[in-house]
Amino acid sequence: MIQFADRIKSLPPYLFAEIDRKKAELKKKGVDIISLAIGDPDLRTPDNIIEALKSAAGDVNNHHYPDYNGLLEFRQAVADWYKSRFNVELDPQSEVVSLIGSKEGIAHMPMAFINPGDITLAPDPAYPVYKTATMFAGGETYLMPLKKENKFLIDFKSIPEDVLKKAKLLFFNYPNNPTAAVADDDFYVEVIEVAKKYDILVCHDAAYTEMTYDGYRAKSFLEFEGAKDVGVEFHSLSKTYSMTGWRVGFVVGNKDAVAGLGKIKSNIDSGIFQAVQMAGIEALKGDQGCVGEMRAIFQERRDVLCDGLTSLGIKVEKPKATFYMWAEVPAGYTSVSFVDHLLSAGVVVTPGSGFGSMGEGYFRMTFTLDKARISEAIERVRKIRNW
């Protein structure tokens, strides 16, 4: 009889896989599903990027194993983009490594820096991979609660001293998934101070810096003095250029941390198909007008969703970034029971508890569908409203 390893047995169902399962069950019943659950933009990848892929895919020189760390041209494009966007200087040779999407790099990071019994600091609620990856490496995760009264920012002063002394990695993510919170300059300065004091390697998941609204500009962690001494930043082309299925991202920053992750990767994968990297170069170096166009579309959708939820008696604040709306469930519901109630109308959203215990009492909706479908979802919910 085949036996799973203990690490697999202890895994809860992956949140978004479970959502997909429930959607599939409803579709079998003939239900028209409106899914506002997963952050997968419906917008088409810009044509210039698609054309770059087509051209590169036909080049026989791209049909071989790629460089483990990524094409130097791709890493140079990343460095140039960071200089242009954040005024951060990066050495493409030693401070940039390509990733098969930022999720892959985040998942492998603890394997390079966590020994059994070591502690990773991770937010709660949060992207589930931070905790799962630490468990795979034999480490323990100390969950840092993100609370409404703290504007969903980490409160480092509440972390016990003995935990900080044992901590080896810190994952954090602003603009934030799932809460859509943003961080101010003082927060980033404090992160660096804490990391230096306790010798903690910082890992900033910056996937949503380009999805911003109302004139807000998200910053890179690496913009702040001393950041490169203590950490790295993970980024992705997925959200910025609507390339979620292309699986191309990168990690940048501290050269020793980048090298450690690169060493893990060289023993696990063989890099990104070079044609995809060539398309990534076009994305980073080509006309950036598409990013502004996508922002404008998402901002309009955000407003439709926010106004719709308000009309249903659900209090929300318009997020400055990401394409997520994080809201408290109505009185009398848990996160899961509210989500199940909406499922009865064919509307799929994500229970906040799926992101951690501190997400209980909340739900997350995306605005990655067109305005008409968002409006239809609101009207479906209005018909079953009982709060």
pLDDT in tens, 15-45: 667 777 777 888 888 889 999 998 888 999 9
CB-based contact 302:213 (threshold 8 Å): yes
Chain position carrying tokens 């500009």? 217
Residues 40 and 177 in one domain: no
Q: pTM of this prediction? A: 0.94
pLDDT for residue 51 is more than 90: yes
- Classify 332 in phi/psi space as left (phi over 0), alpha (psi -120 to 50) or beta: left
Task: Compute CA distances 362 → 181, 334, 387, whole Å.
Answer: 14, 8, 15
Give φ, ψ of 32 to 5 degrees: -80, 115
The CATH number of the domain where 232 resides is what?
3.40.640.10
Domain extent, residue 21, equals: 6-44+289-384
- 98 strand-pairing partners: 250
pLDDT for residue 232 is more than 80: yes
Domain boundary among 269, 285, 301: 285
Domain boundary among 260, 285, 310: 285
Residues 261 and 301 in one domain: no
pLDDT above 90 coverage of the chain, percent: 88
In a domain, residue 21? The reply is yes
- What does 38-63 look like in DSSP terms, one character per residue? S----SPPPHHHHHHHHHHHT-GGGS
Residues 16 and 36 in one domain: yes
Q: What is the pLDDT of residue 2?
A: 87
Each residue of 210-219: pLDDT tens digit? Answer: 999 999 999 9
Q: How many CA atoms lie within 13 A of 299 on its CB side?
A: 15
- 140 strand-pairing partners: 119
In a domain, residue 84? The reply is yes
Residues 21 and 60 in one domain: no
Residues 141 and 223 in one domain: yes
